[in-house]
Amino acid sequence: MIVKDLVESKELMVEETSQNVVVLYERFDNLDCVGEGSNLQEKECDPEEFVQILAGCSGDSLTSKKTYRVGENFNSVEEILFDIRENYSHLLK
**What pLDDT is recorded for position 36?**
80
What 3-state DSSP class applies to 90? helix
**What pLDDT is recorded for position 34?**
84
**What pLDDT is recorded for position 74?**
98
**What pLDDT is recorded for position 80?**
98
**What pLDDT is recorded for position 58?**
66
Task: Please state the domain count of the chain.
Answer: 1
pLDDT along the chain (93 residues), means of 10: 92 94 96 82 89 85 94 97 97 92
Classify residue 20 by burial, with Cβ atoms within 10 Å: 0-12, 13-18, 19+: middle
**What pLDDT is recorded for position 88?**
96
Residue 65 domain boundaries:
2-91
